[in-house]
Amino acid sequence: METTAIITTEQLLKHWQGHRQVTRKLIEKFPEQDLFNFTIGGMRPFSEMAMELLSIAVPSLKEFTSDTPGTYQHLEGISTKQQILDLWDKSTEEINQYWTQIKPERFQEMFNLFGMYNSTIMDSVFYFIENEVHHRGQGYVYLRALGIEPPFFWERD
Amino acid sequence: METTAIITTEQLLKHWQGHRQVTRKLIEKFPEQDLFNFTIGGMRPFSEMAMELLSIAVPSLKEFTSDTPGTYQHLEGISTKQQILDLWDKSTEEINQYWTQIKPERFQEMFNLFGMYNSTIMDSVFYFIENEVHHRGQGYVYLRALGIEPPFFWERD
């Protein structure tokens, strides 16, 4: 589809990584115990939400670039904040690497992500970003309930 | 910028309106009293967040289409859930009308929204959507804390 681009793939990557920086700051703000234990209304602790985000990001890009649907596997076996932050930083690098292998024309193609979510790659990328913003918004409430000032929503670097 | 479009303006509008449908469902789920009074950690009740979203959406598009920065004015004077839902539906129609007046090539142009936020129109639209997802995520925690099942994140119609 040749037309006027309202956003480029490079801009979209930068936008996503900007959000990931905010989420990283949020993880850092949590006291270690609360990251793994604090919850409201029967929801998951923020550590579990962060692990979901990590379980989605790089594995999805690997599926797109190999053009092979796999299965969703929730990352486990993490018990410290530093481990999550290390995984976060490793994912940041891997996202940059895999992203450049996705040709712009593929964003409008259908792909059955995790063998379950059949949509365009663009819609899946929207999902990655917005699912992160959604859960991070929940993390903001956790921090506020703990009396901790969250990072600014608009500080993306 | 002529290139391969990874998303069209029509798709972006549909995407935003899909999110607005989820937010509308969330507003509907709140008991009237809780919509205006329930808070966690000193945050705003969800009615105030919804009014912020309404104060941003159509006024922003009016600025873009008239090419004239204005000032942010927070909508006030609302005291019932039905009033918010009515404003929501009115905005839904107005967003559709104004959106079609924004030419695709303008999304990469800078615009000083509300005379304060100088970024590309694309980045501002990302902000509208993600600010909504962010606050709605907070609304999900409020509902869970109230023992109410929120709408599904992925049901966009």
Prediction ipTM score:
0.96
Q: Which residues contact A47 (CB under 8 A, 6 or more apart)?
A: A35, A36, A78, A81, A84
Size (chain B), residues: 157
The pLDDT tens digits of the residues spanning B33-65 come to: 999 999 999 999 999 999 999 999 999 999 999
Residues of B in contact with A134 (CB under 8 A): 133-134, 136-137, 140, 153
Q: Give the model's pLDDT for residue B155.
A: 82
Residues of B in contact with A153 (CB under 8 A): 131, 134
Per-domain residue ranges for chain A? Answer: 9-66+74-145
The answer to whether A131 faces chain B, any CB pair under 8 Å, is yes
The pLDDT tens digits of the residues spanning B62-88 come to: 999 999 999 999 999 999 999 999 999
Confidence bin at A156 (pLDDT 50/70/90):
confident
Q: Give the model's pLDDT for residue A93.
A: 98
Right CATH number for B14-145 from 2.40.50.140, 1.20.120.450, 1.10.3720.10, 1.10.287.3240? 1.20.120.450
Secondary structure of residue B43 in the 3-state scheme: coil
Q: Is the pLDDT of residue A28 over 80?
A: yes
Confidence bin at A1 (pLDDT 50/70/90):
low
Q: What is the CATH code of the structural domain delimited by A9-66+74-145? A: 1.20.120.450
Q: Give the model's pLDDT for residue B2.
A: 52
Q: Is the pLDDT of residue B1 over 70?
A: no
Give the strand pairing for B117-120 and B110-113. Answer: antiparallel
The answer to whether A43 faces chain B, any CB pair under 8 Å, is yes
CA of B3, closest CA in chain A: separation in Å?
6
The answer to whether A8 faces chain B, any CB pair under 8 Å, is yes
Average pLDDT, chain B: 95
Token pair of B21, please? 């449908």
Enter the DSSP assignment of A150.
P
CA dist A72 and A78 (Å) reads: 18
> Which of B2, B7, B30 is the best residue to mutate to test the A interface, defined by the most A CB atoms within 10 Å of its own CB?
B7
Confidence bin at B157 (pLDDT 50/70/90):
confident
Contact A122 B6 (CB under 8 A): yes
> Do the beta carbons of residue B99 and residue B65 sit within 8 Å?
no
Residues within 8 A of A (CB atoms), B 109-128 only: 122-123, 126-127
CA dist A33 and A112 (Å) reads: 37
Q: Give the model's pLDDT for residue B5.
A: 86
CA atoms within 13 A on the CB side of B130: 22
CA of A51, closest CA in chain B: separation in Å?
17
Q: Give the model's pLDDT for residue A2.
A: 52
**Facing residue for B5 by CB, picked from A5, A131, A154:** A5
CA dist A150 and A140 (Å) reads: 6
Token pair of A133, please? 């913003």
Task: Please provide the DSSP assignment of A62-89 as one string.
Answer: HHHHHT------------SHHHHHHHHH
